[in-house]
Structure 1
Amino acid sequence: MSAAHGGSLWPASGCGMCAGRSPLADNIALVVSELVSNGVEHGAGDVGLRVRYPDDEIRIEVTDGNPAPARMRSAGDDDESGRGLLLVTVLARKWGVTNDGRTTWATFRVPSGRPWWPSST
């Protein structure tokens, strides 16, 4: 299922390249998927993704052309969507929207000295 069809960008079953990741890497990947999916489904124009890694924090930023800020909503038991920002709230350290409403961001604390993504070797 793709974002254009109301789902996340990555399949829930994962992929072979993702085997062996840490829980933090899995959480970051899920939040990236949710925020980009929201930008594609609810945004306007191009959707941009920026990942910053200063010191002990990773900051994910997704930008689109829609000035209406992302906001959490209540999803009913039978609703197929509407829980993405709830997942972001649970998984990320913090999340928010810039004052112009065009960028939704989430941060994750990275423990120092502990690998959060498997090495390529």
Structure 2
Amino acid sequence: MRAQRRSRRRAACATYLLPQAETSARWARHLTTTFLTRGCGEKVSGDQVEDVALVVSELVTNATRHGHGSCRLRLCVDPGLVTVEVEDASPIPPRLCSPLETDECGRGIVMVRELSQHFTVRGGPGGGKTVQAVLAAS
């Protein structure tokens, strides 16, 4: 009897450096949609592409508004999972509490957490942070 080896395919990943600009979230949504529909090599449903693009938009918006400069967006697609990571230079984590009904902002991270299977914030080199959201791909 011979043991079968399962070769695990490496995740398809893409990394983008985005400037601190009003247009960065829109550009990040475009890059994400293009990567997930044409470049990642995995089947990602249309609904999931929309969910991932929404998560990317929220995280990039937060990073470019509050992160003290540019941000780095990293997308990785494994069978069944899409991982979104946004890294910025600010050590201050996003506000993770639920906003009041009268608040005009602060709902983005709550929505990101609801769409994600896993959500983490970790410190990075030089005092920055990386916000990671893992979503189902299909």
Q: Which structure has more helix as a fraction of its residues?
A: 2
* Structure 2 segments unaligned to the other structure (5+ residues): 1-20, 27-32, 34-44
> How many pairs align?
98
Partner of 2:100: 76
Partner of 2:134: 107
Give the whole-Å Cα distance in 2 for the aligned partners of 1:74 and 1:106.
Answer: 18
Partner of 2:64: 40
Q: Please state whether the residue corresponding to 1:98 is helix, strand or coil.
A: strand
Percent identity reads: 34
- Conserved in 1, the CA contact under 8 Å of 2:95 and 2:106? no
Give the whole-Å Cα distance in 2 for the aligned partners of 1:56 and 1:80.
Answer: 35
Using structure 2 for the length normalisation, give the TM-score.
0.61
Partner of 1:15: none
Tell me by how many angstroms 1:78 deviates: 2.2
Deviation digits for residues 41-96 of structure 1 (CA, Å, limit 9, x no counterpart): 11112111110113331110001100112231332222211111110111111111
Give the whole-Å Cα distance in 2 for the aligned partners of 1:59 and 1:87.
Answer: 16
Partner of 1:64: 88
- Conserved in 1, the CA contact under 8 Å of 2:98 and 2:110? no
Using structure 1 for the length normalisation, give the TM-score.
0.69
Superposed counterparts of 1:9-28, under 5 Å: 9-10=25-26, 22-28=46-52
Q: Which structure has more strand as a fraction of its residues?
A: 2
Partner of 2:54: 30
Give the whole-Å Cα distance in 2 for the aligned partners of 1:32 and 1:63.
Answer: 12
